[in-house]
A and B are shown apart, each in its own frame.
Chain A
Amino acid sequence: MTETLTEMLIIFIKIVCALVWFLLLTLYLTWLERKESALIQDRLGANRASIFGIRIIGLFQPFADAIKMIFKEDFVPSFSRKFLHTIAPFISFFFVAITIAAIPFGDILRIGNRTINLQILDFNVGLLFVLAMLSLGIYGIILSGWASNNRYTLTGGLRGVAQVISYEVALGLSLIGLIMVYPSLRLSSIVLYQGELLFGFLPKWGIFLQPLGFLVFMFAALAETKRVPFDLPEGESEIIGFFTEYSGLKWGLFMMTDFMEIIIVSTLLTTLFFGGWQVPWLASDGFHFPWGGELMLPHLVVVLLQVAAFNIKVFFFCWLQILIRWTYPRFRYDQVMDLGWKLLVPLSLVNIIGTGIIMTI
């Protein structure tokens, strides 16, 4: 009885920790987006939000934004379908938020004789789960576009659908080569496989085994986040997008979903192609360098290093995606479909065939 209670408590703590990590990172990605774009454009960015006159380069800005959004009027247009209009942002938010359950943050943590897996749920089909939930997130956009009963939102929703069918196929196909190499769909075992060494010195990360798969997945995942090079459903400068009729916290949910998708894509890129929580040459008892040196470390330090490595990789990819968002202009409607069907899908097929040939040899 106490055993199940402690198990439940551990899972509860894991869920709370993961969600807090996720949401805090989301909040601060808005800050990073502002500051990074400012640095790219030789500006300073938001630096005025202060608590008792203390500014610290605008680090309080996300909280000021959140307070502003909470106190804004929650407007529902009289001509909209009210139930669907209300539920759409929550659907969008929920399906992205739930994906964090399958992401492995680290290896096993031992406290006393209890082992804790640093992952909320170690699915057999973790990879499929994440991809499925990310695809379901588009329903929020379609619903909001339809239920707002406004032509701009409807155009945004339609564009969202067109974009989904053009990148979703490539997104799935690009990962098949990866699944062939690491014969598992369980995200934790994919990460474990990446701890092995290639030619005795190179870590067996996905980027080294599947460079083409990485490129295709990267492009398709950028389209998945629906941000600027592929922000057809939004298209701020032409149609205001699927959230034209939203205000206040519901609009904020769509906004947060955007940033959460960045994080999820970053965690996926990290987990699948950059070794997840693996530090090169770090085993569970310490470093084993390929040139012969060894450095023994206590268990807690190893776990901390792994979690830190995971975080650093995720931060890097978040940074990279924001950099891409502030560099490139928007693709045209037909160019996205061109890119999806004529470039990414054939490339991922080539990748599958090539991987198969190399594996049989």
Chain B
Amino acid sequence: MIKALGYFIEIIRGILITTRHFVVNLFFHILKVLGIKTKRKGAVTIQYPEQKKEVASRHRSLHRLMTRKDGKPRCVACMLCVTVCPSECIYVEAAEDPDLEIQKYPAKFIIDLGRCCFCGFCVEACPEDAIRMDTGNVDFAEYSQQDLIYDLDKLIG
């Protein structure tokens, strides 16, 4: 019983803290409704679909394939990304390029994003800097797994 009484002050302090948060946040919400701009906001919430947080520059987001000046992909179908990929989600089919400097180009370049774990190893492995994960696009959810299989057109575009 004595112990319970000893906690009494802490109980009062606890409720004062929550009351302070309630009153202060309510005050800033009311200011916002009245159209008065303040530096502090009533809530730290980011209202997601309308309001997006800037992703960090190093953030690994949706892949993209880089292109040469003439619009063809930089990829030379060396298969390094296919080899290094831990979730085995990249499929590359090579074809011969008439240009002797290039020699090979990807006829098919498919990433199954349903399997991809966004480790970024493919970006590290690529000798041509042909694949990057810097689009900043993080919401590409789909209703079916088929729609998550991205081919060359989608990855370049």
> Which residues of chain A have a CB within 8 Å of any CB of chain B?
36, 38-44, 323-324, 326-328, 338-339, 342-343, 346
Measured in the bound complex, the distance between the Cα atoms of B22 and A38 in whole Å is 9
| Minimal beta-carbon separation of A47 from chain B (angstroms) | 8
Smallest Cβ-Cβ distance to B16: which chain A residue: A327
Q: At the interface, yes or no: B34 with Cβ under 8 Å from chain A?
A: no
Instruction: Give the residues in chain B near A39, CB-CB below 8 Å.
Output: 21-22, 25-26, 29, 42-43
In chain A, what residue has the closest Cβ to B4? A343
A36 touches B22 (CB 8 A): yes
| CB-defined contacts of B43 to chain A, threshold 8 Å | 38-39, 42-44
Interface of A is mostly: helix
Is B11 part of the contact surface with A, judged by Cβ < 8 Å? Answer: yes
* B100 interface contact, C-beta 8 A: no
Assuming the A-B contacts A323-B15, A327-B14, A328-B14, are A40 and B1 also in contact, with contact meaning beta carbons closer than 8 angstroms in the complex? no
- Complex alpha-carbon distance, A277 and B18, angstroms: 29
Q: Are A339 and B11 in contact (CB under 8 A)?
A: no
Contact status B1-A327, CB under 8 Å: no
Cβ–Cβ < 8 Å partners of A42 in chain B: 21, 25, 42-44
- Report Cα–Cα, A38/B17, bound state, in Å: 14
Would A339 and B21 count as touching, CB distance under 8 A?
Answer: no
Interface residues of B (CB under 8 A from A): 1, 4, 11, 14-15, 17-19, 21-22, 25-26, 29, 42-45, 47
Interface of B is mostly: helix
Residues of chain A contacted by B14 (CB below 8 angstroms): 327-328
Cβ distance B33 to chain A, nearest Cβ, rounded Å: 9
Contacts of B11 in A (CB 8 A): 328
Cα separation A87 to B21 with both chains bound (whole Å) = 42
Which residues does chain B contribute within 8 Å of A38, judged by CB atoms?
43
Please determine whether B44 and A43 come into contact, CB atoms closer than 8 angstroms: yes
8 tightest Cβ-Cβ pairs between the two chains A and B: A44-B45, A327-B18, A39-B25, A44-B43, A40-B18, A39-B22, A342-B1, A40-B21
Q: How many A-B residue pairs have CB under 8 A?
A: 46
Q: Which residues of A sit under 8 angstroms from B22, Cβ to Cβ?
A: 36, 39-40, 323
Return B53 CB to nearest CB of chain A, in Å. Answer: 15
CA distance A94 to B4 in the complex (A): 36
- A-B contacts, 27 listed (Cβ < 8 Å): A38-B43, A39-B21, A39-B22, A39-B26, A39-B42, A40-B18, A40-B21, A40-B22, A42-B21, A42-B25, A42-B42, A42-B43, A42-B44, A43-B43, A44-B45, A44-B47, A323-B18, A323-B22, A326-B18, A327-B14, A327-B15, A328-B15, A338-B1, A338-B4, A339-B4, A342-B1, A342-B4
Report A327 CB to chain B, min CB distance, Å.
Answer: 4
User: A189 to chain B: closest CB distance in Å?
Assistant: 34
**Are A41 and B21 CB-contacts (below 8 A) given A327-B14, A327-B15?**
yes
In the assembled complex, which residues on chain B have CB atoms less than 8 Å from the CB atom of A323? 15, 18-19, 22
Please report the C-alpha to C-alpha distance between residue A40 and residue B43 in the assembled complex, in whole angstroms: 10
Q: Determine the chain B residues whose CB is within 8 A of the CB of A346 once the complex forms.
A: 1
Chain A residues with Cβ below 8 Å from B21 are 39-42
CB-based nearest A residue for B45:
A44
A328 to B44, CA, bound (A): 23
- Complex formed: what's the CA distance from A178 to B17 in Å? 32
Q: Would A43 and B15 count as touching, CB distance under 8 A?
A: no
Nearest chain B CB to A152 CB, angstrom units: 29
For the complex, what is the distance from the CA of A187 to the CA of B102, rounded to whole Å?
94
Chain B residues within 8 Å of A342, by CB = 1, 4
In whole angstroms, how far apart are the Cα atoms of A53 and B1 in the complex? 55
A40, B29: Cα distance in complex, Å:
13
Query: Given contacts A323-B18, A327-B18, A328-B11, is CB(A43)–CB(B45) below 8 Å?
Result: yes
CA distance A324 to B14 in the complex (A): 9
Known contacts A328-B11, A338-B4, A346-B1; 7 additional CB pairs below 8 A are A36-B22, A41-B21, A42-B21, A43-B44, A323-B19, A327-B15, A327-B17
Contacts of B42 in A (CB 8 A): 39, 42
Q: Which residues of A contact B45 (CB under 8 A)?
A: 43-44
Whole-angstrom CA separation of A55 from B113 in the bound complex: 36
Q: Shortest Cβ distance from B44 into chain A, in angstroms?
A: 5
| A151 vs B118: C-alpha distance when bound (angstroms) | 43
In the complex, what residues of A have CB within 8 A of residue B25's CB? 39-40, 42
Out of B15, B17, B26, which one reaches A324, CB within 8 Å?
A: B15
Closest to A346 in B: B1
- B41, closest chain A residue (CB): A42
How many angstroms between the C-alpha atoms of A326 and B19 in the bound complex? 10
Name which residue of chain A comes closest to B47, CB basis: A44
Q: Tell me the minimal C-beta distance from A322 to chain B in angstroms.
A: 10
Residues from chain B with a CB closer than 8 A to the CB of A339 are: 4
